């Protein structure tokens, strides 16, 4: 099945499996390109690693969470969270402190360096969005965002096959 827009097929982009005009390869190519454009720092940058992205994202929403809360919020396995936090702490992006009320719990806080990395990434995202929306124009940008939100909503209601 080839995707169509206004009755016209989307242009093919030469995929290896011959299905380059279908939804999954198209979305994958777009996601990969966005990731390439958004990369900050080298290969060791914790934001480049999926576990680091998830943990930074959760800490940006709410700083001072316990490791267990981070495990539950990210869906990552506890050992993955522990190892990733160790790396992030060693590199100065976070600090970990024992909870004063529950000495079994460890709370995780972003350091100034960690907050700076998140701000740098946010600026990069805004620049990419601005460039993309400038190239699409106001009307198409609005339609694109609307369709993405509808797609997200539709996918969230679908159960497993």
Going from the N-terminus, what domains does the chain have, and what CATH number goes with each? 1-38 (no CATH), 46-111 (1.10.10.10)
pLDDT band at residue 6 under the 50/70/90 scheme = low
pLDDT band at residue 38 under the 50/70/90 scheme = confident
Q: What is the mean pLDDT of residues 35-46?
A: 64
Q: For residues 17-43, b (16+ Cβ closer than 10 Å) or e, as one string?
A: eeebbeeebbeeeeeeeeeeeeeeeee
pLDDT for 76 equals: 94
Determine contact, residues 114/88, Cβ cutoff 8 Å: yes
């Amino acid at each position: 099945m080839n995707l169509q827009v206004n009755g016209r097929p989307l242009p093919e982009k030469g995929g290896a499996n011959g299905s380059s005009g279908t939804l999954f390869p198209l979305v994958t190519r777009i996601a990969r390109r966005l990731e390439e454009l958004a990369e900050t720092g080298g290969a060791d940058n914790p934001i480049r690693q999926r576990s680091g992205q998830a943990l930074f994202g959760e800490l940006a929403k709410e700083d001072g969470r316990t490791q267990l809360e981070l495990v539950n919020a990210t869906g990552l396995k506890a050992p993955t969270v522990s190892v990733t936090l160790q790396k992030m702490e060693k590199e100065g992006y976070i600090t970990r402190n024992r909870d004063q009320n529950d000495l079994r719990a460890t709370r995780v806080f972003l350091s100034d360096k960690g907050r700076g990395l998140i701000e740098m990434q946010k600026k990069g995202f805004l620049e990419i969005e601005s460039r993309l929306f400038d190239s699409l124009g106001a009307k198409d940008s609005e339609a694109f965002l609307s369709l993405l939100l509808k797609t997200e909503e539709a996918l969230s209601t679908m159960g497993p096959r």
